[in-house]
Amino acid sequence: MKKSKFIIIILIFIVNYNSIAANINSWNYHNSPLPQRNIYYYAVDSTNQIWISLVYGGIFRTDTYTWQFLDTNNSDIPDYSLNKIIVDNKNNKWMGSSRGLIKYDDKTWELFNHENSTLPLAKYLFPIFVDKENNLWIVFRVSNINSGIIRFDGLNSRIFNDTNSGLLNNAIYTMAQDDDGSYWFSTEAGVVKYDGNSWQTIFKTPYNSAVWSICIDSAGTKYFTSSKRIIILKDDKFSYIDTSNTDYYYKSFGEIVRDKKNNLWVGTNTSLARFDGKDFKVVYGPAYNIKVDNHNNKWFMNYNEVLRCENLVVYNEDGLQGINGIEENYTNNDETQLIFPNPATDFIEISVGAGSEPALTGDVKIYDIFGQTLVSIRAGFEPAPTIQIDVSGLAPGLYFVRIGDKVSKFVKL
């Protein structure tokens, strides 16, 4: 005797995460034109347009509702192979490429290299920073070895390296500028400061212990991240955050950024966390390449182990602002049609195959937004068109369900 419905009652308890559907969203291979992997870099401009370069060439421009892919075949972009992207104070987009530095002002594409500008002959150009005077700072390589950094104003350029300046070496990772206009450089060997005239070594790091990120808060306190610790410089005194004085779980620190409300955000290979200078509040899973837009939304990338693809995520603790297509992303894709009702309050029904559609079989797994497996059940569903799961015990939030290779998401109200 065949049963028309196979019912599983699952009671789940997780940490409360209020209003996640209004606070966070993501785009990936499953709900957008993005590839499954091989996203190189991205930037957010002043109008909340997202620019995403791909490892194998080309670039996406999107407001998360409409997507446009640009390459040398369908646009005037001067090169197919792009690397880092940065947006200057006038909303011009700058991109490194194998042919030189590319500028786009929303009307015209322009190429700068050693043939038509003061930029040096280089194999690679990586724009990493725009200062308050709208100068572009570009890490460059002559061969496969880092060769220093260039300050470029669109006409004139100046090269800084470890032979003509106070840079500790030519492997420069990031920069910051303080309220006095001085520049702070993080390198493979430590941190230096440049006030426009003289250089000062702030601290050196042991071999293979590079400083990845620099952040300066509104009070002038400096924060530096290396893989194993956060280094804090306040009133000329150093302090440290590491496993000896925090319960925050991390494997390796990445970036630290400051948002529009002077909150600090730390990305690691385990989570995105809000940091008050001492304690961490985790809000999401792994996070790297963190950006803050004009609406104080936090953007970041990660690899989603549940969906098995790279993920572009946006989060705002006060609710997402200025982003198109949020509602559509939750309701108008094939994945959400597997689950009904969605959003849900007491239970969900998952379509596991009916009629001519092949039945889904395999493990039923429910994940939270951190990618942690909350439930794993082995069952065969060939006799049943749906499976019903009690979700009344779930806190409000966003959840993922995997059956075999099929992934769906639902919102619990």
Write down the pLDDT at residue 305.
74
Domain with CATH 2.60.40 in the chain: 335-412
Write down the pLDDT at residue 208.
66
Using CA atoms, how far residue 17 sits from 8, 20, 103, 291, 302, in Å, is 24, 6, 41, 22, 20
Write down the pLDDT at residue 9.
35
Write down the pLDDT at residue 105.
97
- Residue with the two structure tokens 């925050």: 248
Q: Is 341 helix (H, G, I), strand (E, B) or coil?
A: coil
Q: Count the neighbouring beta carbons within 10 Å of the beta carbon of residue 64.
A: 20
Stated pTM of the model: 0.78
Tokens at residue 373, please?
């497996």
Of these ranges, 57-66, 97-106, 392-401, the one predicted with the greatest mean pLDDT is 97-106
Per cent of the chain over pLDDT 90 is 54
> Tens of pLDDT along 51-80?
999 998 999 999 988 889 999 999 999 999
Phi, psi angles (nearest 5°) of residue 404: 65, -120
Q: Which fold has domain 335-412?
A: Immunoglobulin-like (2.60.40)
Least confident interval from 188-192, 252-256, 378-382: 378-382
Q: Count the neighbouring beta carbons within 10 Å of the beta carbon of residue 399.
A: 26
> Tens of pLDDT along 228-249?
899 999 999 999 999 889 988 8
Write down the pLDDT at residue 273.
94
Domain with CATH 2.130.10.10 in the chain: 21-331
- Which amino acid belongs to residue 305? E
Superfamily of 21-331 according to CATH: YVTN repeat-like/Quinoprotein amine dehydrogenase (2.130.10.10)
- Which amino acid belongs to residue 26? S
